[in-house]
Structure 1
């Protein structure tokens, strides 16, 4: 019988990150049943751990959100890995887990109590058109004067990034409540030097009913932002990002660029509930 773990991902204290449902033993579930359970659970994503089809992978995961299935998502990657390891999963490599998902293989590093995934290459990384920029500003409710640049940072989800002058501008944004289905747009701005976090992020997506939701902590958006910041010299080495303050969370994301230029997105995961049976 399938069971479900509830995982708190990118947490910085009890119940402070992004919740995730991870289903074990759901090999016989159809995509429709996976989608139905995801919608019922109501989290931003739910994942289903399956045997890998690629011999290089340690496990395979299918990632669902209320609007459908995703080829990749960040907090589901870390939360699924944590749940797999806690259930006794043994990786083929030392200190390294390989996840198979819709975009292919994703490397995950085990760093003590934290995990970090290698940010996948961006599938689209170019400026937004004037029309896209205007729509993103309207949807997020940011002050147009605070927008420094607007770019695509697509890595599975079709993220659009508005980089703002400051973290205060990010926190002041007042998003709309209804948006076109398929909307994935986020905002990011730097904190003043000496603050406990370096950057502040917010990310928004529309569900199947067109309601615009704010995600507590978003690994895929942080991954796209990190690649953009590192490639353009807007961040060097490593930095921390906060997300979720406007929705009652307190997420902490650690972003690092290694010697080869790859970006790694890391954070802590905690199991809140283990092994609840699905009837």
Structure 2
């Protein structure tokens, strides 16, 4: 009876002690976690922990894997589109190459037929000369040379007639008269200058190949206005320098003249 009471007191003492009986399991789990830090703990590792205290798997890698799969799909689609474009370019290049080969083949065939057609008369000429040599004497050979001269004279006459006909046809064709359109800025001395009289003086300049057009007054500043007038000139008859010299003769009214625009018609 005394022994039983001693045993119960020992269990009570042991129960009162704060002992961590699961520490080896936690140490093993911590070791496995640090060894596989790049991925979630496997089921074998988490199984070492007591029930109710197992760690939940992390979703970080799953989300990263999902993002990587999406990027891979995007790159595959881009490569497929690029491949389709390359196939289309190659098909166009093949078609162009085939067209070029056909044209080259046609050009190679066409010159081959022309010399053969021209070569026939050359081969027939010696036969004719041989026949003439059999039937005629040396005097007849001299006549053959004379016929060549006559042929040359006939060809020269035909050539000259064609040249004369071309010259006559060209002479009948109307020649193109080169004209230009000018926009002139005529500036007075001051704001007191009579612009109506200034324009009258400018239009009084008359030349063969000169035609005056519309005009207007454009403000310059400080009450001064310039005369802007258009004209059409024949390039072979009227020059800009000559026109400016004739207009600036009215020096009492005109200070200067500028060519604002010059266009060929």
Q: Same fold (TM over 0.5)?
A: no
TM-score by length of 1: 0.18
User: Which structure would you say has the larger Rg?
Assistant: 2
Structure in which a larger fraction of residues adopt helix: 2
Q: Which has the higher contact order (CA 8 A, sep 6+)?
A: 1
Structure in which a larger fraction of residues adopt strand: 1
TM-score by length of 2: 0.18
